[in-house]
Amino acid sequence: MSRVFNFSAGPAMLPTAVLEQAQAEMLDWHGTGVSVMEMSHRGKEFMSIAEQTETDLRELLNIPNNYKVLFLQGGASTQFGMVPMNLLRDKHQADYFNTGIWSKKAIAEASKFCQVNIVSSSEANNFTTIAKADEWQFDPNAAYVHYTPNETINGLKFHGIPKVGDKTLVADMSSIILSKTFDISKFGLIYAGAQKNIGPAGLTIVIIREDLIGEAIPNIPTMSTYQAHAKADSMYNTPPTYAWYLAGLVFNRLKEFGGIEAMSERNKRKAKLLYSAIDDNDFYNNPVVRKYRSKMNVPFTLANSDLNKTFLEEAKKAGLINLAGHRSVGGMRASIYNAMPEEGLQALVDFMGDFATRKA
């Protein structure tokens, strides 16, 4: 068996130990004679998996009791619409930060339901920095404030949680959840597609404060209301059972590793190694202002873009795959989520140093 270092932005690599456990349990989960994929979602076996997964996530993130955790489908992109449909209530405005390509998608979707006020936009700076808090402009009538703590494509990350007074704060944590600690009580709603730092694609996690549930706009599909999912403990319809189980294996492993604080320390070391390799070598460049650099997604360019194809081909031969930047940004991008080991970063910076020496 040979496993490569996979720098994909998502679906991203999963811990090998998790895949091995899934493999060992594939045909016969805990003596039941069936795979988790073949179980009734309402049977006691799957219920035990579902409950343990939620318990572990609550423990890892320190989620207060007055929050519901929902295990949904549809990806983070479905949440772009569900958030306004459920949280606008009697209001007609919402505040959005525009810090990258995912923010823009969330804004486009919200604009179908309300007037979007842009609190701050990084677009004129090509999404390489975030304006200081004293330049932010909130709408006093906004129902909530939405932001993207980590912009997966642009490699741009907020420094700290924005202070929004008593307004409801909503965060798209798809590419940052579980990578560092957050005070969950500061948020009204958090959502994240699973395929970056949680588990396989197909599962979306929503963490919502209970008082925000139950006032969706009328006449929308039941599936688009948080209330239906919350009331049924995410079993209003058939949930993505296998992805839920795999997320549980990832959470269990993260607990064994020492939880989010230990993982966050490792993530800092990993990011430092890569940014140093970029900054210390004129051959490579990352355009993001240091304070706002992502620790999960690191875009970079080569001094000579004619060498991009060769870089990717040689990297692949060295067992380093999926380093091409997003089609809208170009260049390279290394996504270094929780599952990427430190050895992967070392192998990448060794390759980058060698490549630059040979080609510069």
Ligand X SMILES: *Cc1c(COP(=O)(O)O)cnc(C)c1O
Binding site for ligand X (CB under 6 A): 10, 75-77, 102, 148, 152, 172, 174-175, 193, 196
Q: In what helix (H) or strand (E) does residue 101 lie, and over which residues does it extend?
A: helix 101-110
CA angle 16/334/245 to nearest 5° reads: 35
Query: In the bound complex, what is the minimum distance in angstroms from residue 172's beta carbon to ligand X?
Result: 5
Between 71 and 351, whose beta carbon lies closer to ligand X?
71
Considering the candidates 56, 68, 95, 102, report the single residue annotated as catalytic: 102
Q: ω before 11 within 30° of 0 (cis)?
A: yes
Task: Return the biggest CA–CA distance within the chain.
Answer: 63
Start-to-end CA span in the chain (Å): 35
Decide if 29 is catalytic: no
Question: Quick one: 114 or 194, whose CB is closer to ligand X?
Answer: 194
Tokens at residue 164, please? Answer: 């929004």
Clarify whether 136 is annotated catalytic.
no
Radius of gyration of the chain (CA): 21
Q: Which is nearer to ligand X, 164 or 243 (CB)?
A: 243
> Could you confirm whether 102 is annotated as catalytic?
yes
The Cα 60–Cα 263 span in angstroms is 11
d(C-alpha 180, C-alpha 263), whole Å? 7
* Closer Cβ to ligand X, 196 or 229, answer by number: 196
User: What minimum distance in Å lies between the beta carbon of 340 and ligand X?
Assistant: 16
**Catalytic-role residue among 68, 157, 167, 196:** 196
CB of residue 264 to ligand X, shortest distance in Å: 18
Nearest to 119 by CA among 133, 106, 109, 108: 133
54 versus 109: smaller Cβ distance to ligand X: 109
Q: Please report how close the Cβ of residue 61 comes to ligand X at its closest, in angstroms.
A: 17
Nearest to 242 by CA among 90, 76, 77, 34: 34
Q: What's the min distance (Å) between Cβ of 318 and ligand X?
A: 26
How far apart, in whole angstroms, are the C-alpha atoms of residue 113 and residue 90? 12
- Catalytic positions: 102, 172, 196
